[in-house]
Amino acid sequence: MARLGGCWAFLCRCFFQYETPKILLIRSKKVGALNRLVQALILAYVIGYVCVLKKGYQDTDSVLSSVTTKVKGVALTNSSQLGLRVWDVADYVIPPQEESSFFVMTNLIVTMNQTQTRCPEVGVPERAASPCSLGAVNGYRSVQTGKCVNFSDSARTCEVFAWCPVETDSEPPNPAVLANAENFTVLIKNSIQYPKFSFGRRNILPDVNTSYLRNCIFDRKRDPHCPIFRLGDIVSEANEDFQSMAVHGGVMGIHIRWDCDLDMPESWCVPKYTFRRLDNKDPDNNVAPGYNFRFAKYYKVADNVETRTLIKGFGIRFDVMVFGKAGKFSVVPTLLNIGAGLALLGLVGAIACGDSNASSVNVEAAFSLTVNSWHRVLCDVACYV
Amino acid sequence: MARLGGCWAFLCRCFFQYETPKILLIRSKKVGALNRLVQALILAYVIGYVCVLKKGYQDTDSVLSSVTTKVKGVALTNSSQLGLRVWDVADYVIPPQEESSFFVMTNLIVTMNQTQTRCPEVGVPERAASPCSLGAVNGYRSVQTGKCVNFSDSARTCEVFAWCPVETDSEPPNPAVLANAENFTVLIKNSIQYPKFSFGRRNILPDVNTSYLRNCIFDRKRDPHCPIFRLGDIVSEANEDFQSMAVHGGVMGIHIRWDCDLDMPESWCVPKYTFRRLDNKDPDNNVAPGYNFRFAKYYKVADNVETRTLIKGFGIRFDVMVFGKAGKFSVVPTLLNIGAGLALLGLVGAIACGDSNASSVNVEAAFSLTVNSWHRVLCDVACYV
Amino acid sequence: MARLGGCWAFLCRCFFQYETPKILLIRSKKVGALNRLVQALILAYVIGYVCVLKKGYQDTDSVLSSVTTKVKGVALTNSSQLGLRVWDVADYVIPPQEESSFFVMTNLIVTMNQTQTRCPEVGVPERAASPCSLGAVNGYRSVQTGKCVNFSDSARTCEVFAWCPVETDSEPPNPAVLANAENFTVLIKNSIQYPKFSFGRRNILPDVNTSYLRNCIFDRKRDPHCPIFRLGDIVSEANEDFQSMAVHGGVMGIHIRWDCDLDMPESWCVPKYTFRRLDNKDPDNNVAPGYNFRFAKYYKVADNVETRTLIKGFGIRFDVMVFGKAGKFSVVPTLLNIGAGLALLGLVGAIACGDSNASSVNVEAAFSLTVNSWHRVLCDVACYV
């Protein structure tokens, strides 16, 4: 009981007890100016950088996005192998749908009527160094039977078990077979949400109507908000040449940026499109350039034998990436930043005090005032360095 | 040498020399209370916000995740075009596998037995405005031959070279052909890792056994941890109508959130599922609504002619997104936060000192004490504003 | 006017007016050392942690990446069902291309020559509990006709309308059919960019030439920068057994980390590869293990009837994930950190002042010096706790 009382007394005493340094009021243009200068810097930082630039008064949320794409276009080719042929979206977009990316085939090497059987390997003449041996895996597509057969009148190669005839892996045609892909268009539908602010928007802006959408093509100057892009434009905006890119293929990035200040009118929140080539095309480091892959169409012919058409497809993959950050006024971050700012100012005041001492030494020698904060800091550095 | 000695002497002097303000002990309920109030705010911020809310004592790691999905279900349709037909997963999931997304076809427009040949274009009657001209690309799928032919007894259209017969691009069937997709189920297997803490977990919780897994269906109330979801439930949880969504297609987001406090028992770390529609369905802005794409199945018929069945597939793409952040006690962040907190308190003390001056002016006029920190700050603001 | 003059006078007065505490110079080894110790801690934090560890003087940017993959390898299988068969990349990579992931089929269950017709369901003997009823959906692939027919001499099952014959859903073959996939290789082409610094690089390093690239295989010791990986090595590096993983399938993560200090020579910026298994293989929680999906190849046979070959493919999906952060010297962050560091030091000075008081009480009783900052803080804590 007594102890409790004692503790209580202690608490009260320490609760209402505080200290204050004896303070001296001095006037001096020089030091006052310095003092203000430091404070001005702090204010500039707090107001200019934290508040204006970094929007410290806003709560932020990152974007939630969905992308769907639809390519349109048709190409007409006429080759000795395939004859006259029309290519439409179902022919050149592989796979038909992806989450946030689409591939347009621009060039191809076709090997028709392959069946599982034996045939001479292509382009690998038998050498004493590597005789044909049963079961030896040949490159990446065939297994040797051990025999050695005539590939042509001149050359003999190992016989292989494979999808025959095996593909002749040559350079892709130049110009590209589907060079016309440059004129294909793609409609990109991008809906975004900022869940924290329950704010949603799509790249087909509210003021767009169907007739406009049917005819427009994105143009940074004239139609910056048209969601339909010409593939050739996308590539040229990235300072690349479509036709040369079409031969070996590549990867393009379509970046959609949604930076929205939700304290502003909603209509100010519009997507910005930028395009860049993502894969490397560095001429002096062009090992394994471009982008291609193999796929096959499987058939069964009359006598129920499975045959396939192997296609080595070169093309451009377009990766659609959506970035974005939304900010909206919120109390908590505002208070935190104001608090931090005031604290900083208070600190400066303290440092300024120190500065003032420095000169007040000259002013009033009566006081044993000594090195100010900055001197102290420098001195410390001297001590540690 | 002498210089060295001098420097040494200087270092020692400045090393053991320090300053202290003359401090005055004052007791005053009013200022003491203010002093405590400011300190209370700081403590509330440090303890309540930094420590409790933001868990400042924890080191954090972001989630590493893998998602695999498996759709199950069968639909029976009976149309004049296709006759009685069963649709299983290999028929309606395109492509058969994706990284963190799956598409379920709910509606389709089929154009059978297309071959590369000539035929009249559909629905584009020749107009004097646009006469048929050789090579003119017609829409997105055919190339004009320049001739004009009978499309029907009544109408004449341009002859085109294309996959014939060309698709009749009409409105999708309503109700959707595969309306029964509402009852399909999907098993979502999601394994996550927090590498920094070498902590791994999956959404099939340890206490789940095979028999439960064979029969359960996710239900927010009864089975919140069953990883098998009925597509209809996913859509309805997002306050959408599956049947209307199935007609034109759309994009759904399946969000799995793993926020784990690893200082707590592992069994508390469970996934939270939320569903939302990602694409736009704003009725007054429904330009190009839904989600669909074209793909084809290629055949070779008896006389080795390639034919294809073109399918314009409407459906719902489900994007599975995994979010998560794990926290675990760590020394470094704890120390940093404690340090920052103490520093802040010390600062407050300083400000409080200022406050005390304000009143101590009344207490002891002998000291030329002046405006306290807050006055100073305000004064400064006045000077700059 | 007068008021304006008064305000002006006020502003000038407050502008050049500042305060300074009366300060007392004291020398004491004990307190001086403590003072220095605290400062040393601060300096250690500012220099060691902020500057060296966290590189506070750098502006940072996060990586922008594109990944393309190319699998190579061939497998020879000989089964009673399929006979002797060669599998190449077009056969076992499904779908043929994905954005940042690729799937290699290692095991499969094939059901050939399915057509849409009636047949007895497999493995679901009719029970009184569940009699065959017209239209009842049977599992996930067939619809009952209501009849009950002989499945074999011994067993009777419900007749179903489905892709017949229905798949016999048994355990996958063990060892895996394409066990040889262990020797397949994958070329991963990864180009990264740090847009803010307009810095680009690819994982095929500049000093790599075509001949090296044709023969090299990634090896953490000998060839740490070869972008060609043997699938078996990837799995074994993650401490998994490829053959057992190949049976039921799984998901592997290929992590490419690009942490670049752009203040250093560019050649120091090289990718680090790590591999880990992403899906769960916890033996005591192996509900629904592995990874598999169903897909079909569609054919039309002579009499224009559509048939398909259903394949339940088990395999390993490799998810390529690219991480990275680049830092480069920048003025703004440097100034901010220096400023914060000095502020902290100034504060410490203040605290040290407090400390010195503590002892100077004993030194010079003439001054009414009281509890120092630390005492104050502790006292405060006592007041609130």
Q: Give the number of A-B residue pairs with CB atoms closer than 8 Å.
A: 207
Q: What is the mean pLDDT of residues A87-107?
A: 93
Q: Which residue type sits at A11?
A: L
Distance, in angstroms, between B243 CA and closest chain C CA?
A: 20
- Distance, CA of B106 to CA of A339 (rounded, Å): 56
CA distance A25 to A145: 103
How many whole angstroms separate alpha carbon A277 and alpha carbon C248? 38
Mean pLDDT (whole number) for A327-339: 84
Among A97, A294, B95, which Cα is nearest to C293's?
B95
Asked whether the beta carbons of residue B25 and residue C291 sit closer than 8 angstroms, the reply is no
Residue keyed to tokens 């303290």:
A350
pLDDT value at A305 more than 90: no
Would the CB atoms of B20 and C22 count as touching at under 8 Å?
no
| CB neighbours of residue A165 within 10 Å | 16
| φ, ψ for residue C36, nearest 5 deg | -65, -40
Q: Tell me how far apart the alpha carbons of residues A52 and A306 are, in angstroms, rounded to a whole number.
A: 68
Q: How far apart are the C-alpha atoms of B182 and B178, rounded to whole Å?
A: 9
Please check whether residue C361 touches A, CB under 8 A: no
Amino acid residing at B182:
E
User: What is the C-alpha to C-alpha distance for residues A15 and B34, in angstroms, rounded to an integer?
Assistant: 11
Q: Which helix (H) or strand (E) holds A312?
A: strand A306-329
Listed by number, the residues of chain B in 54-93 with a beta carbon closer than 8 Å to a beta carbon of chain A are none
Instruction: Point out the least confidently predicted range of A229-243, C225-239, C305-319, C347-361.
Output: C347-361
CB contact under 8 A, B291 and A68: yes
pLDDT at C349 over 60: no
pLDDT at position B247 is 93
Chain C neighbors of A31, CB-CB under 8 A: 18
Evaluate if residue A13 carries a pLDDT over 80: no
Using a CB-CB cut-off of 8 Å, the residues of chain B touching C344 are 343
pLDDT digits (tens, 9 = 90+) for C155-166: 788 888 999 898
> If contacts are CB pairs under 8 Å, which of residues 272-291 in chain C contact chain B?
276, 278-280, 282, 284-285, 287-288, 291
Between A19 and A204, the higher pLDDT residue: A204
| Main-chain dihedrals φ then ψ at residue B81, nearest 5 degrees | -75, -45
* Residue B19 to residue C356, Cβ atoms within 8 A: yes
Question: Closest Cα partner for C144 from C131, C127, C129, C128?
Answer: C131
More confident residue, A342 or C50: C50
Structure tokens at C241: 């057994």
pLDDT, tens digit, 9 for 90 and up, residues C197-225: 988 888 988 888 888 888 899 999 999 99
- What is the count of residue pairs from A and C with beta carbons less than 8 Å apart? 202
- Dihedrals φ, ψ of A335, to 5°? -60, -45
Mutate to test the interface with C, among A169, A294, A347 (most CBs of C within 10 A): A294
User: What angle is formed at CA A59 by the lines to CA A57 and CA A65, rounded to 5 degrees?
Assistant: 140
pLDDT at B374: 38
Is residue C229 predicted with pLDDT exceeding 80?
A: yes
Percent with pLDDT over 90 in chain B: 40
Please check whether residue A66 is in contact with residue A202, taking contact to mean a CB–CB distance below 8 angstroms. no
- Tally the residues of chain C: 385
> Which of the residues C45, C158, C164, C285 would you substitute to probe the B interface, choosing the one with the greatest number of B C-beta atoms within 10 Å?
C285
Interface test with A, best of B134, B285, B361 (most A CBs within 10 A): B285
Minimal Cα distance from C375: which residue of A? A14
Return the pLDDT at A341. 74
A196 annotated binding-site participant:
no
Cα–Cα dist A355/A378, whole Å: 13
Q: Render pLDDT for C55-79 as a digit per residue (tens, 0 to 9).
A: 888 999 988 889 999 999 999 998 8
| Whole-number Cα distances in Å, C71 to A292, A294, C198, C336 | 11, 10, 31, 49
pLDDT at position C10 = 64
Taking alpha carbons only, the member of A96, A3, A59 closest to residue A260 is A59
Main-chain dihedrals φ then ψ at residue C270, nearest 5 degrees? -125, 150
- Residue A291 binned pLDDT confidence (cut-offs 50, 70, 90): very high
Residue C296 near chain B (CB below 8 Å): yes
pLDDT score of A296: 94
Which of B22, B347, B369 is nearest residue C347 as measured by Cβ atoms?
B347
Low-confidence stretches of chain B (pLDDT beneath 70): 1-7, 10-28, 30-31, 123-130, 138-139, 282-286, 343-385
- DSSP letters spanning B135-156: T-EETTTEEEEEEEEESSSS-E
- Asked if A303 reaches chain B (Cβ–Cβ under 8 Å), the answer is no
Nearest chain A residue (CA) to B135: A76
Q: Which residue has the higher pLDDT, C323 or A52?
A: C323
Contacts of C302 in chain B (CB under 8 A): 302
Q: Is B225 exposed, middle or buried (0-12, 13-18, 19+ CB in 10 A)?
A: middle
Per-residue pLDDT band for A366 (boundaries 50, 70, 90) equals very low
What value does the mean pLDDT of chain A take? 80
Centre a 10 Å sphere on the Cβ of residue A366 and count the other Cβ atoms it contains: 7
> How does strand B185-194 pair with strand B64-72?
antiparallel
Which chains have 3+ CB pairs within 8 A of C? A, B
CA B170 to chain centre: 34
Are the C-beta atoms of residues B316 and B250 closer than 8 Å to each other? yes
The pLDDT assigned to A303 comes to 76
pLDDT at C114 over 90: yes
Taking the C-alpha atoms of residue C185 and residue B378, their distance in angstroms, rounded to an integer, is 71
Greatest CA separation found in chain C? 117
pLDDT reported for residue B5: 64
| Chains within contact range of chain B (3+ C-beta pairs < 8 Å) | A, C
Query: Whole-angstrom distance between the N-terminal and C-terminal Cα of chain C?
Result: 56
Q: How does strand A156-164 pair with strand A137-138?
A: unpaired
Task: Note the Cα B308 to chain centre separation in Å.
Answer: 38
SS3 sequence of C126-186: CCCCCCCCCCCEECCCEEEEEEEEECCCCCEEEEEEEEECCCCCCCCCCCCCCHHHHHCEE
CA distance B140 to chain A (A): 4
Look at A133-147, A166-180, B285-299 and tell me which has the smallest mean pLDDT.
A133-147
Q: Let me know: does C244 contact C176? Beta carbons within 8 Å.
A: no
Scan for tokens 């990436």, then name that residue: A321
Residue entry with tokens 């700012």 = A341
